[in-house]
């Protein structure tokens, strides 16, 4: 009896080994095994991107976008002249995202970040020039929290000036490099506009989609729910933040004190109540996201007398929507994992660690009544409309990219099945010939 059980066990082992050998022959490598393991694993059943937020399983779009608006796969060439430009809007989670860009991306040549220094060196592989224009790589080179109007005029000038330095003879280059290093010791060292009032450079706009020289500027940004962002800015200002170093350059100059009065007297507005914060008619926190994403030169910059308020608001909102849609990428603070996914698909860059969704913030800890909520929404009515538009576009892009990914995976599975069937047919033919 014992000998019989041993024989059965031996037969089962031999059958298993034979099956493994056949599987290795018809499907070499680990692709088939890994595909089956993934399909059987519990992690495959759960969608990590859906679990992060309260998005319904079936998202119903409100706006009509073309396939070109939804497909964002830029041929970003980190070894060439392409440059990612990060437009950092205050209190949108931009600091966290900016750190991801310099510390959390898998690169052939990772950014060099030294302890105690705010800026990292993000050079292209084999070159001494940056592929990233952001607070944590180049500093505030175009001014503290430069907006779309400033960046699209300033970035080409900054990039071209650095190229000129590299092309100069060595002695002049060393002298110029010393000057640059001295100026960059202050992180807030900013671009000084040279254009005459009324002048408008379109270089940055043209390069937004590419240029004849083969140089592309890939503009990106992060948006946030307007009420949460507004409350977060109030808490930040209450603690003493001012952003007084911001230039607000438009059409070659900064606004006058008459065009942009201050909400407070003294060094800062620390300790201000939410009521005081809302009552200031000049508060740049109001509709900040629309203002920083629109082309301010279309409305006479900060001169409110150029056109009626209703017309000005419409022009600003339309401009912000169009610029946002044309950007290479934008993310939403409320959708961290989806933001990570879309960035990775857009630029073909992968992050090392997954993004974390923080639902507990300083803004979320502020309890406001319904009347205050409505007042903040009214003060930020342009931002509210822009965010609805952005959220719809963002989720449509995510849905579109996921569908493309599933279609590609299905196509690969079909190709693997064809190869498997061909090998099985070849084995049967060999068996018949040998018999």
Domain presence at residue 42: no
Is 94 among the domain residues?
A: yes
Answer whether 139's CB lies under 8 Å from 189's CB.
Answer: yes
Packing angle of the helix pair 381-434, 370-379 (nearest 10 deg)? 90
* pLDDT (tens digit per residue) in 133-169: 999 999 999 999 999 999 999 999 999 988 777 666 6
Q: Please give the tally of structural domains in the chain.
A: 1
Cα first-last separation, the chain: 36
Is residue 191 assigned to a domain?
Answer: no
Over residues 385-401, the pLDDT tens digits come to: 999 999 999 999 999 99
In the block, residue with structure tokens 């498997």: 420
Pick from 376, 391, 330, 389: which is nearest to 226 by CA? 376
Q: Is residue 43 part of a domain?
A: no
> Which residue would you say has higher pLDDT here, 232 or 429?
232
* pLDDT tens figures, 348-370: 999 999 999 887 676 667 899 99
Instruction: Check if 145 is active-site.
Output: yes
The pLDDT assigned to 166 comes to 67
| Domain presence at residue 203 | no
Q: Which two tokens stand for residue 389?
A: 């538009």
Range of the domain at 90: 52-163+213-414
Mean pLDDT of the region 245-255? 97
The reply to whether 1 falls in a domain is no
Give the CA distances from residue 68 to residues 65, 71, 341, 393, in Å, rounded to whole numbers and listed in that order: 8, 5, 18, 12
Give the C-alpha separation, 26 to 424, whole Å: 7
Specify if 113 maps to a domain: yes
DSSP string, 175-203: HHHHHHHHHTTSTT------SPTT----H
**Which among 123, 145, 248, 426 is annotated as catalytic?**
145
Question: What are the structure tokens assigned to 374, written together?
Answer: 């409505």
Q: Does residue 369 lie in a domain region?
A: yes
Angle between the N-to-C axes of helices 381-434 and 2-26, in degrees from 0 to 180, rounded to the nearest 10:
110
Under the banding of pLDDT at 50, 70 and 90, the label for residue 423 is: confident
CA 87 – CA 106 distance, rounded (Å) = 22
Confidence of residue 309 (pLDDT cuts 50, 70, 90): very high
Average per-residue pLDDT for the chain: 84
Which residues, 6+ apart, have CB-to-CB distance to 148 below 8 Å? 87, 219, 292, 293, 294, 295, 323
Q: How far is CA 386 from CA 213, 318, 336, 362, in A?
A: 33, 9, 19, 23
In this predicted structure, the answer to whether residue 198 has a pLDDT above a threshold of 60 is: no
> Which stretch of DSSP H or E encloses residue 87?
strand 83-87
């Amino acid at each position: 009896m014992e000998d019989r059980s041993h024989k059965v066990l031996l037969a089962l082992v031999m059958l298993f080994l034979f099956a493994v050998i056949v599987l290795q022959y018809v499907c070499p490598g680990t692709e088939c095994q890994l595909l089956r393991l993934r399909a059987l694993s519990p992690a495959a059943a759960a969608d990590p991107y859906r679990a992060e937020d309260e998005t319904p399983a079936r998202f119903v779009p409100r706006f009509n976008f073309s396939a070109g608006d939804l497909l964002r796969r830029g041929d970003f060439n980190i070894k060439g002249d392409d440059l990612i430009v990060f437009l950092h809007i205050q209190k949108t989670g931009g600091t966290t995202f900016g750190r991801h860009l310099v510390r959390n991306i898998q690169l052939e040549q990772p950014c060099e970040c030294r302890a105690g220094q705010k800026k990292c060196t993000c050079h292209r592989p084999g070159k001494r020039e940056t592929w990233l224009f952001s607070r944590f790589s180049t500093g505030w080179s175009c001014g503290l929290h430069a907006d779309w109007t400033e960046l699209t005029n300033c970035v080409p000038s900054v990039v071209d000036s650095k190229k000129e330095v590299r092309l100069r003879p060595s002695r002049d280059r060393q002298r110029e490099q010393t000057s640059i290093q001295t100026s960059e010791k202050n992180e807030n060292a900013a671009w000084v506009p040279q254009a005459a009032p009324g002048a408008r450079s379109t270089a940055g706009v043209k390069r937004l989609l590419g240029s004849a020289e083969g140089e592309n500027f890939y503009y990106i940004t992060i948006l946030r729910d307007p009420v949460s962002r507004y409350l977060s800015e109030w808490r930040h200002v209450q603690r003493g933040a001012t952003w007084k170093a911001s230039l607000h350059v438009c059409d070659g100059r900064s606004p006058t004190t008459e065009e942009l009065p201050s909400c407070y007297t003294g060094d800062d507005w620390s300790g201000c109540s939410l009521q005081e914060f809302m009552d200031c008619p000049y508060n740049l926190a109001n509709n900040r996201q629309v203002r920083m994403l629109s082309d301010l030169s279309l409305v006479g910059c900060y001169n409110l007398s150029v056109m009626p308020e209703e017309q000005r608001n419409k022009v600003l909102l339309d401009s912000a929507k169009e610029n946002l849609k044309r950007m290479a990428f934008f993310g939403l603070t409320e959708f961290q994992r989806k933001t990570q996914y879309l960035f990775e698909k857009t630029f073909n860059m992968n992050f090392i660690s997954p993004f974390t969704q923080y639902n507990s913030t300083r803004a979320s800890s502020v309890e406001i009544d319904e009347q205050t909520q409505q007042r903040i929404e009214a003060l930020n009515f342009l931002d509210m409309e822009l965010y609805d538009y952005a959220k719809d576009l963002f989720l449509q892009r995510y849905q579109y990219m996921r569908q493309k990914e599933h279609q590609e995976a299905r196509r690969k599975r079909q190709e693997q099945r064809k190869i498997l069937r061909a090998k099985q047919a070849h084995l049967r033919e060999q068996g018949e010939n040998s018999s």
